[in-house]
Chains A and B, each alone.
Chain A
Amino acid sequence: MQLFLQQVLAGLANGAIYAGMALALVMIFLAIDHLNFAQGEMATFSTFIAWQLLAWGCPYWITFVLVVAISFVGGIAIERVLFKPLHNADILANLVAFIALFSILNSADGYIWDYTIKTFPTPFGSKPLFGSVLIDAHEAGMLVVTAVLLGLLYLFFSGTRLGLAMRAAAHNPVSARLVGIRVGWMTALGWGIAAAIGAVSGMLIAPVVFLDPNMMFGVLLYGFAGAVLGGMTSPGGAVLGGFAVGVIENMAGTFVPYVGRDLKLTIALLVIVAVLMVRPAGIFGRTTVSRV
């Protein structure tokens, strides 16, 4: 029983990592209908900026706010400079731009901060929570922050004019433009928010997995899996999907005899394929119908 509980909680902790990334992926997908392959590298870059500020002696929470702000602006800048010109271009052109961004950021990380792993501080401490070996304070903190982030996004999208405008721009760009919404800027805003979410999840993940230029590479795969499982169009679904992938992966690794441990990634991905065959839009996703 202890093993089961420990594995579930470890799965949730990993799941929180995937959920953060899944959330960022969904934000950009909602804005531009494409998957941003460079999402992980953007988050890593933000985390390196945070690491640098901390190394210069900036206090943690000031760094945190500063980096989220820098990332928000950076995300908007990337959209304006790199992707706005590609707005009407072929999907392949966008794809190449994503991959270019991926490799530019990854190499820049390595060039500026080198490839050895770095420790990153946690604001929550790493003591066991309530004296239990099941979960430590940082893992619990990660779960809380993910929940808060999701709550804020919900409030933003359902309760503010800007949030509504963004949703309108994503759902129906033509009509949105007709009622006076600046669709281009809404897209840029989506990028900014995604970059900011990525920065938060990067700063939360780094104390656990250690910071290096390839920190997000594996996480992006799992985050993508989580997003697809939950639905690429549903922020809440993506977060749940991320958690589900974390737990499924650990359960498969621990309790499926023989093949479980070596193939735990495969099993997690098989579950996703199964879901997609039944519900292509993901569990919580909205089915999009396009007129031909």
Chain B
Amino acid sequence: MKHLTRRRILAAAPAVLAFGGPLLSARPARAAKKYGPGVTDTTIKIGNTCFYSGPASSYGTIGRAMAAYYKMVNEQGGVNGRKIEFISYDDAYSPPKTVEMTRKMVEEDHVLLDAGPLGTPTNSAIWHYMNQNKVPQLFVSTGASKWDDPKGHPWTIGWQPNYHGEGIIYANYILKQKPDAKIGVLYQDDDFGKDYLRGITDRVGTKGPAKVALAASYETTDATVDSQIIAIKAAGCDAFVNTAIPKFAAQAIKKAAQIEWKPIHVLSSIGQSVAVTLKPAGLENSVGIVTDFYLKDPTDPQWKDDAGYKWWVAFMGKYYPNGDKTDVNNVYGPSNAATVVQVLKQCGDELTRENVMRQAANLHNFQVPMLLPGITINTTPTDFAPVKQVRMARFSGQRWELFGPLLTGEIG
């Protein structure tokens, strides 16, 4: 006989009613197990959307690294004896396509949950759909602060430190160096840029002595941000928070050097890649810039004897041999997937969508190998921000060097 699932039992119900009988006796034995869509005694089907093509396809490796992690989990026996079936669709960073693919995975593939879908605009496009249909939108791979909204959107939960919290951390750092700093901010004129700006202004406040002297926005269609940098310098700023995407962040660093402007320069985690941002901007122009980290940077030699890093190298070697071992996205993927697996483990045999969200909001001191030492994942029914801590790092001219304690993005 095939495995009994809730749906099969329901489908069989008329027959049972018609014949009275023997099948009914099977139900109490199965009562301990409660399954939602996509779950059987041997498998759990989960979905995902990622950018495997299109303008942002360099992030596509996140989805591949996630798949590699689930493959590893399956080879090691699965979650409570069930194999994970990971269905990842390409949305090409195009929100309408995300909607299409997500509906397909929910309505045709009947997945239990959507695990770590990538991108802010893409996740925004399915935000209401997932909450209306009560499908877990688990650990979305984006740093917007709006995912931490357990009341309004109880079926969506973030994962990484959010931009608003990072903005607060950057302002904290600047105020510690210079309590009367005049801060200039370069931000993208959309949700994610404004999240950063809001964090900074929330922390700096209006009373002084420090203030945000000039917040200059850019559009992704701008040719350069030279004009913005000139204006920020001219406003007399002695601190600069650079929250631009890599291309514009690099232009800003280069322009600041060219006009001989040397503020306290904070670069957001969006643009912190040495290869993608700092090298084009000029490593010599980038010395002394600070940023924040929560994952172990795979190019940082200080981790070479670290147990977590060694695990990651072995994992990459065996399950994702084509993956770039210098790309932090390949650290991100498995770390995010590990959190999904932890939730499924905690669900036990009650693999319903309701219980998935209950367990996602019930993580305590969960450790992931490639998170910085001391950072743990914690959630509660009123706290949907799993990773909250970061550490600051300063660029030496060759690499980022961590300094200072673990920080959280809270005011006060």
Contacts and interface: CB of A to CB of B under 8 A. Distances in A.
Contacts, number: 90
Nearest to B60: A115
Interface residues of B, number: 30
Given A218-B222, A221-B221, A116 B230 contact: no
A3 B234 contact: yes
A236 interface: no
Contacts of B230: 3, 6-7, 10
A17 B224 CA distance: 10
Nearest to B230: A6
A117 B246 contact: yes
Contacts of B189: 262
Interface residues of A, number: 40
Given A3-B230, A119-B280, A253-B231, A261 B223 contact: no
B326 interface: no
Interface string B216-232: 11011111101110110
A115 B55 contact: yes
A250 interface: yes
Contacts of A261: 216-217, 228, 231
A138 B275 CA distance: 23
Contact of A262 (B56, B57, B217, B224): B217
Interface in A85-137: 110, 114-119, 126, 128, 133, 136
Contacts of B219: 218, 265
B221 to A, nearest CB: 3
Interface string B46-89: 00000000011110000000000000000000000000000000
Contacts of B58: 114-116
Given A117-B247, A133-B259, A222-B223, A214 B279 contact: no
Provide the main secondary structure of the chain A interface: helix
Give the top 7 A-B pairs by smallest Cβ distance, nearest first.
A218-B221, A3-B234, A250-B227, A10-B226, A119-B280, A133-B259, A6-B230
Given A10-B224, A14-B223, A116-B275, 11 more contacts: A3-B230, A6-B230, A209-B247, A210-B251, A218-B222, A218-B223, A253-B227, A261-B217, A261-B228, A262-B189, A262-B217
14 contacts: A6-B230, A7-B230, A110-B55, A110-B57, A115-B56, A117-B250, A210-B251, A218-B223, A219-B223, A222-B221, A222-B223, A253-B227, A261-B228, A262-B189
Interface of B: 55-58, 189, 216-217, 219-224, 226-228, 230-231, 234, 246-247, 250-251, 258-260, 275-276, 279-280
Interface of A: 2-3, 6-7, 10-11, 13-14, 17-18, 110, 114-119, 126, 128, 133, 136, 205, 208-210, 212-214, 217-219, 221-222, 249-250, 253-254, 261-262, 265
